[in-house]
Amino acid sequence: MKFRSLGFRVTAWYAGMLAFSFLLFGTSTYFGLSTFLHWELRSSLLADSTSIAEKLLDHYRGQAFLSGEISEGFAPEVNAKFIRVTDSNNQVLYVSKPPLNGSFNPNSVPRLTFSSIPASDYYVDRNAGHAELYIVVLPYSAQDGHKYIVEVGAAQNRIHETLDALLLIFVIGMPAFVVLASFGGRYVMRAALRPIREITGTAEQISLSRPEVHLPVLQTGDEIEQLARALNRMLDRLDTAFQEIRRFSGDVSHELRTPLTILRGELEALLPYASVNMQDELGSCLEEVERMARIVDQLLVLARIDASGEIPRDIVDLGQLTKGTADQMRLLMEEKALTATFDIAPSVLVEANVWRIKQVIVNLLDNAIKYSRNGGTICIKVSSSAQKAWLEIRDQGEGIPAEALPRIFDRFYRADNSRSRGTGGTGLGLSIVKAIVIAHGGAVRIESIEGMGTTVCVELVLAQGHTAEPTTPPVSPAAIVPS
């Protein structure tokens, strides 16, 4: 369970609020009902005592009269009531008999005298039996001047039983209800958050290479639908802006090519007529122009990779293509007395654009050659699994510092500017590799230990179920744009 998820937090808040409301409701109901039931009991007992006082004591005609009238009018034994009348001499004039249900014994209720009348108009007796007696006390002065104490009581156990039953319902029912409501709330939250989960899943797939992917819009008519629509409009605007930028950099590179070619031609034409000193100057100018022309070419390649949506693909034998390309670059290796070893699995077929994959191999081999020490070895391996194809190029060169590795695929990034400038690098080779591999739905990884060497691994998707003859690797050296 994700404790920080919106669904969990809202459900927890909801359950907490519900439990708190129930607690508040339960407590107020319990105490409200208790007050009401006691008030009702007290009122009825008070009415009885007032009635005894006004009807019987104002016209008092002896104990027999009192006993007869009370038994007839109030039937305390049948109604399980306690009635006692005491005169001003603290003489008990009447006390009711034990009730038929035997719940208390009236004679066990301690005597009340005028000097021991409680401050409140009632008291509770717990000693007269298993019933708790709630007894209302009414001191009364009759019309003839005599004073009496009238006590009328009844068991308050029924009130306790009712309150206990209510408490039981609350204690068992409310937590069960909170748990049930929480599960219900969690279900509702999950359903409500489903569009957000879908939006998140799709948003993960959106990238510059897949601008066509848009967020799913569930027609719920709520804020989430509005959000998804707004985000899709934003993605469209961003896509348009990126296309403008790509087109611009493609146009700039393209426009720069012709003047650079003219410049190079004119510098070369001037060379034979220049003095020896001037020839050095012109030669260095030519070098810079050629460097600039290479950068412009590479930028154009990148702009084309970025701009092209679906690239035309063939079935390519990755092993053959790698071997053929390495053979074409043999001269560069020989210049540094490098040895190439091959471990090439047969028929590793990938569905790819042959020219672009060749560019990947050229750029990686170019790096392996450029950054190797003289006399080193370059290991080239092509392998596959059920679904993936791998091209691995390992050298024993100077390696890349660990802090430079995360930025190595950035455009124009060079691990060591002085070193790379000496080798004529522009820092675009690996970014071209990455752009091509990603456009093919693959991935590229680099591992390096400074001073020990570098391994670059390109992963491509294996062409499934193809029996067609794979495209033969291009042999024209013109196809190679070395970095």
Window 394-413: contact mask with ligand ATP (x via CB under 6 A): -x-xxxx-------x-----
Neighbouring C-beta atoms of residue 369, cutoff 10 Å: 21
Position 430 contacts ligand ATP (CB under 6 A): yes
Angle at which helix 354-370 crosses helix 429-439, to 10 degrees, equals 150
Candidates 142-150, 233-241, 266-274, 360-368: pick the segment binding ligand ATP (CB under 6 A): 360-368
Report the sign of the C-alpha dihedral through residues 239, 243, 244, 248, in that order. positive
Closest of 72, 136, 130 to residue 101, by C-alpha: 130
Which contacts qualify for 408-413: CB closer than 8 Å, 24 or more apart?
408/446, 409/433, 409/434, 409/444, 409/446, 411/302
Identify which of residues 186 and 356 has a Cβ nearer to ligand ATP in the complex: 356
Whose CB is nearest to Mg ion? 429
Residue carrying the six token digits 């014994």: 105
Total residues contacting Mg ion by CB under 5 A comes to 3
> At its nearest, how many Å lie between ligand ATP and the CB of residue 361?
13
Give the residues across from 394 on adjacent strands: 379, 455
> At its nearest, how many Å lie between ligand ATP and the CB of residue 260?
17
Q: Which of 326, 454, 480, 481 binds ligand ATP (CB under 6 A)?
A: 454
Identify which of residues 306 and 395 has a Cβ nearer to ligand ATP in the complex: 395
Position 314 contacts ligand ATP (CB under 6 A): no
Q: What angle do CA 164, 170, 171 make, to 5 degrees?
A: 85
Identify which of residues 64 and 331 has a Cβ nearer to ligand ATP in the complex: 331
Residue carrying the six token digits 């998707």: 461
Q: How far is CA 408 from CA 88, 421, 433, in A?
A: 110, 15, 11
C-beta separation of 280 from 288 below 8 A: no
Window 268-307: contact mask with ligand ATP (x via CB under 6 A): ------------------------------x---------
Position 298 contacts Mg ion (CB under 5 A): no
Separation CA 114–CA 52 (nearest Å): 18
Position 427 contacts ligand ATP (CB under 6 A): yes
User: Residue 359: which of Mg ion, ligand ATP, none does it interact with, CB under 5 to 8 A by kind?
Assistant: none
Candidates 195-203, 220-228, 262-270, 419-427: pick the segment binding ligand ATP (CB under 6 A): 419-427
| Residues of this chain, 367-406, that bind Mg ion according to CB under 5 A | 367
Q: Which residues bind ligand ATP (CB under 6 A)?
A: 298, 363, 367-368, 371, 395, 397-400, 408, 414-416, 420, 425-431, 454, 483
